[in-house]
Structure 1
Amino acid sequence: MAKPNKKGPVRTVDISCAKCKAPLFKYRKGGKGALVKCFVERIVQDFTTTPCECPGCQQVFARETMIRGTPALKMVGGKVHMK
């Protein structure tokens, strides 16, 4: 399987917690679809203190996994909001 593009897309989106609205990431997202996974190498700015846990309400919003041989965060449905 092909690995994701290193540089990645130019468009950045703000990802926040759906429950408490605390900012989680600034992420370089490609495409128009829903946020299903975040490749770790595309995260521009990380506001979390512990991985996959919201700093505001301590809710687990993702799981660490490997997708196409690259570390990624698989988002739990309905836990994050993308703007």
Structure 2
Amino acid sequence: MSRPNKKVPEKTINIYCKKCKALLYKYHKGGKGALIKCFIERIAVDYTQQPCTCPNCQQVFARETLIRGIPAYKMISGKVQFK
């Protein structure tokens, strides 16, 4: 399995909690597909106090995991949205 690109995309997206619409992350996302995982090294700004937990409604929106040997958050389907 290959590792993610070393060159981080310049464009960032905002990731929001779907339940309370709180801003969770600004993230450097590559491609235009669905948001399935967030590599921790690509998070530009983190607005959460606890990892994978919404600061407003305390909903767990992701799980910490290793993907291709790199720490990442695997998003739970239907818990987040991005623009």
Normalising by structure 2, we get a TM-score of: 0.96
Aligned to 1:24: 24
Unaligned runs of 5+ in 1: none
Unaligned runs of 5+ in 2: none
Query: What is the CA deviation profile of residues 12-38 of structure 1, one whole-angstrom value per residue up to 9, with x for unaligned ones?
Result: 000010000000000000011010000
Structure 1 residue 2: Cα displacement: 1.9
Query: What is the CA deviation profile of residues 24-78 of structure 1, one whole-angstrom value per residue up to 9, with x for unaligned ones?
Result: 0000000110100000000000000000000000000000000001000000000
Matched position secondary structure for 2:72: strand
1:66 aligns with 2:33: no
> Sequence identity of aligned pairs in percent?
66
Normalising by structure 1, we get a TM-score of: 0.96
In the aligned structure 2, how far is the partner of 1:7 from the partner of 1:46?
20
Aligned residues: 83
Question: What is the root-mean-square deviation in Å for CA atoms of aligned residues?
Answer: 0.7
Alignment of 1:29-40 (within 5 A): 29-40=29-40
